Structures are given as C-alpha cells and as structure tokens.
Amino acid sequence: MPVARLLLAYDGAAFHGFAENPGVITVAGTLRGAIERVARHPVALTGAGRTDAGVHAWGQVVSFPAPPALLDLARVQRSVNRLCAPALVIRSASWAPDGFDARFSARWRRYRYTVLNRETPDPFLARTAWHVVDPLELDLLRLASDAFVGEHDFSSFCRRPKGPTGEAASLVRRVLEAHWEPIGPDGVLRFDIRANAFCHNMVRSIVGTLVEVGRGRCSPGEMRTILRSCDRSAAGPVAPAHGLCLWEVGYPPATESS
C-alpha cells in the first residue's frame, strides 16, 4: 500500500502533546480524526517525534499507509487545514516510497529552543520563547554545548522509560550538532540541536542545564562530568516546554525524491 507523508506545524499550547491519549486533545488524535473525517476510512499514523505537552512543531513528519480512497492528498491537506488550522497545519503532503515510516526511516531530528534573554519581556515572543532575565554569557553557553556532541548515554538528562518487557531502555543517543546563535540585537538566543534521536525531556534538560552555565552557576567543564555520572539528579532543571520546537526531520535521500 502507498504511504502518505505529511509535514506538520502546530502550536504546542493547543495540545496535550503529540501522542494519542484518550480523553485529552493531542496532535495525533486531532489529526487522525480530521483525516478520517475527510477520507472516510481509518488511518494509522506514525510521527517522527513524540513532542510533549506545550512543545511546538514547525517540521514534524507524520506518515500513514493510505488506501486508494485517500489518493487526493492535496484535498486531504486543504480539508484538514480547514478543520484544524491555525493550531495544526499540514504544510505539505506527498507520497513516500514503499516502506517509508516517519519514525523509523528518520535519520535525525533537529530541535530549536528559543530564549529571550533581557530584563523586559515581549508580548509577541511570550508563547514561543523562555524569558530568562539573568544575563547569559554566550561564550559559556557555546563552550558547554560542545560537550553534548557525539555518542553519549543521556541518562542524566532524560526520564528513563521502561521497555515493553520491563527492562531498562537504552538512553544512548548520538548528537550531531549543538550550537547557540543570537538572533538580532535584542536578546533573542536560539539553541539548535540535531541528533539521531532524542529521549524524553532531553532537549529541555540540556537547555535548563546550559542556562545554569550561562548564568555562571555551573562551569562548562562540568557538562562532561554530569553526562558521565548517568545520574538524573546531576543535571539542571528542565526548561519550559513553550520555548521548544521540533524544527526539522532528516531522511535518507532515497525517501526525499518522491
């Protein structure tokens, strides 16, 4: 059966996270309901990233094997957007090669975290940036971020889930990039992190810890010690969800061509 691939943007404030969860409004639940209403056929969605409650997405990817009745993807996109926008928007819809799966075909995910670092708040950034009043030292943020690049056990930065048979799941992930950039002159700082995959709360714990470094409460050199300790209590606090955005998901070139 062909596989439909959707590129999604959503406002995290409107949903209790990505994954379906009976009784609460989630991205996957809302999207599946809308697609099924348009297509008049049940669909089984897979998403590239299980974003938490309050976390935004600009480049979430979702896929589902599509019965022939769904063949007009342009119509699905228009109709779903009419039902779900502006909180949830299908930015594009296309056919993916056989066997494509938004989650398992993905090679990497890129998240962006935005910090507004100045005394005065901004009404127009309040929903998408964490307002940090204490001045952050950009050089320290950058130095500390370098420690995360490479393959590490992220037990210090993640809630450890149990595998289906009760065994502890691996929290080893490979971070490909991690860097901070100032955006404009007014104290907006953006943290970009790309990894093969992320575990639960990983970006928000890393950002929370880096901000402690930027404030001067912790040294950049301590990042490697915290990583190696594999101790959840060693890292800093979890940064708020509303500053985080799933920005982009990367797939092998063969899956990009269709």
CB of 142 to a second copy, least distance (A): 26
Nearer to a second copy, 77 or 105 (CB): 77
DSSP result, the chain: --EEEEEEEE-GGGSS-SS--TTS--HHHHHHHHHHHHHSS----EES--PPTT-EEEEEEEEEE--GGG--HHHHHHHHHHHHTTTEEEEEEEEE-TT--TTTS--EEEEEEEEE-SSS--TTTTTTSEE--SPP-HHHHHHHHHTTSEEEE-GGGS--PBPTTSPBPP-EEEEEEEEEEEETTTTEEEEEEEES---TTHHHHHHHHHHHHHTTSS-TTHHHHHHHHT-GGGS-PPPPGGGEEEEEEE--HHHH--
Nearer to a second copy, 131 or 200 (CB): 131
Nearer to a second copy, 84 or 141 (CB): 84
CB of 64 to a second copy, least distance (A): 20
CB of 119 to a second copy, least distance (A): 8
Q: For tokens 């955006």, name the residue.
A: 183
Nearer to a second copy, 10 or 108 (CB): 10
CB of 130 to a second copy, least distance (A): 12
Residue of 11, 52, 72, 101 marked active site: 52
Residue ranges in contact with a second copy by CB under 8 A: 9-11, 56, 58, 77-78, 81, 85-92, 119-124, 126, 128, 131
Q: Would you call 52 a catalytic residue per the annotation?
A: yes
CB of 131 to a second copy, least distance (A): 8
Nearer to a second copy, 131 or 232 (CB): 131
Residues annotated as part of the active site: 52
